Chain A
Amino acid sequence: MAVSLTVNGERVSRVVPVRQHLVDFLRIELGLTGAHLGCEHGICGACSVRVDGVVVRGCLMLAVQADGAQVVTIEGLAETGEIADLQEAFVERNALQCGYCTPGMLMTAAELLEQAAPRSREEIRTFLSGNYCRCTGYHAIVDAVETTLMKRLERGSEPSVMIEKSVSSL
């Protein structure tokens, strides 16, 4: 079946098997290997990608369902600079070891940061609860997200440095 969609700001058209899920499409057809496949049944969150502005499980959506959609993967998200501060905080705080969960973790955390609301550590944990990490014990991840959120909220009070989400600039 033919699909046409926007991936990280670029228009792509392909013919795909209808049973192919979105992450296999991104990885195999487009070579975007940032989204990982862990459990492939919606539990681990390693395959998280952004579809039409919100984070979803890439393994629980068919590629054909993304026809006409705006898809952003971790590659696109990193390239726009939207989460440069979060990435820095992950390195700073050592919030990853093997890194398998990291793209999904960043995609989910990006949605929390985008909402720009004050959050307790408990709320951050709950927000990230759909993303498994088997290395870090989560503490450092929560640290990194919390630090980034607090910095953004501080800066957010100065309108000149508002974080801009820009996919179209790619």
Chain B
Amino acid sequence: MKAPRFSYVRAESVEHALGLLEEHGEEARILAGGQSLMPTLNMRLSQPKLLIDINRLAALEGISLRGDNVRIGALARHVAVANSPVVAEHLPLVAEAMPHVAHVAVRNRGTFGGSIALADPAAELPACALALGATFVVAGAGGRRSIAAADYFRGLYETARKHNELLVEALIPVRRPGFVSVFMELARRHGDFAIAGVAFHLEIAGGVVRSGRLAYFASEDKPTLARKALAAILGKRLDGECAEAAAAALSEDLEPMSNPQGSAKMRLHLQRVLTQRALEVAANRAGAAA
């Protein structure tokens, strides 16, 4: 189908975009890479009055090391993140996830910030950000504020960003020595939305899990940290038995949604399978690094 009528403004600066957001309220939508917004327009699932195109805001671009964080500008295209040496070196979890983010043509245009701002429950990057303890910086009329990933994802396409705020960048802590990460997902076709997925970031010393986060996506209404499953492996030697205990504990952490791609029962099963596979990989990676 064709998109409904809307007005379109090419934002000249972050301030310009914020002014338009302030003026038009919830009737305005930010247009970044457009790889999710455009389909909803073409299918007339959303009918904003105004699109604010931020694609020419150079201030929102770039990927760089900033102190102990990697700064990923909201407008950094997926392809740039996937090919970034900074990401490869300091955020191996994100680097491992990138090939799973949609398809080549979508990665050439879609943006890191767009994925975080939309907060699709089946998306890879929100889960990675959650696992790595990222911070998101949003700009509003009153200035900028930082939101921890753990506080940011609220529900189905719901985040802590207010409608008059613009996501500016993500700050993601670099991997510290002793930490390993593993990303895995299951999808019917490579690059399609996942039907189960994990993003693990664990500190493992001498084969024993010291700390970390186990993030799950494509099952809840938002990316979710599994606390019981983590408790099952903390202080333990990361072997098959330990991984099995984590998988068993998962039913207390997750309550997957059923949809045409899979029932709740199947999704929980798949998350358990991924948990065991990913923990085995984590143990091997920790062993190889030691």
Which A residues are closer than 8 A to B by beta carbons?
1, 18-19, 21, 24, 40-42, 45, 48, 51, 54-57, 59-62, 64-65, 108, 111-112, 125-127, 129-131
The 4 lowest CB-CB distance pairs between A and B, nearest first, are A130-B103, A41-B39, A18-B8, A60-B38
Q: Which residues of B contact A65 (CB under 8 A)?
A: 31, 34, 53, 55
Q: CA of A70 to CA of B156 in the docked complex: distance in angstroms?
A: 37
Kindly supply a per-residue 1/0 record for chain B positions 1-27, scoring 1 wherever the CB is within 8 Å of any chain A CB and 0 otherwise: 111111110100000000000000000
Whether A130 lies near B3 (C-beta < 8 A) is no
In the complex, besides A45-B103, A130-B106, 20 extra interface pairs with C-beta distance below 8 angstroms are A18-B7, A18-B8, A19-B41, A41-B38, A42-B38, A42-B39, A57-B35, A57-B109, A60-B39, A60-B109, A62-B31, A64-B8, A65-B53, A108-B105, A126-B99, A126-B190, A127-B104, A129-B191, A130-B103, A130-B191
Chain B: minimal CB distance from A45 (Å): 7
Cα distance A31–B284 when bound, in Å? Answer: 57
**Of all chain B residues, which has the CB nearest A112?**
B104
B34:A61 contact, CB within 8 angstroms: yes
B residues sitting closer than 8 Å to A (CB atoms) are 1-8, 10, 31, 34-35, 38-39, 41-43, 51, 53, 55, 79, 99, 102-106, 108-109, 189-191
- Cβ–Cβ contact B6 & A57, under 8 A: no
Q: Kindly list chain B residues whose C-beta atoms are within 8 Å of the C-beta of A64.
A: 8, 10, 53
The contact of B8 among A21, A62, A126, by CB within 8 Å, is A62
Name the contact of A54 in the complex, choosing from B39, B79, B103 (C-beta under 8 A). Answer: B79
The interface residues of chain A lying within 8 Å CB-to-CB of B109 are 51, 54, 56-57, 60-61
List 13 A–B pairs whose Cβ atoms lie within 8 Å, in order of A's numbering. Answer: A19-B4, A19-B8, A41-B42, A42-B39, A57-B106, A60-B38, A60-B109, A62-B31, A62-B53, A64-B8, A64-B53, A65-B34, A126-B191
Q: Closest CB-CB distance, A72 to chain B, in whole Å?
A: 13
Query: Which A residue sits closest to B41, measured CB to CB?
Result: A19
The interface centre, meaning the residue of B3, B53, B79 with most chain A CB atoms within 10 A of its CB, is B3
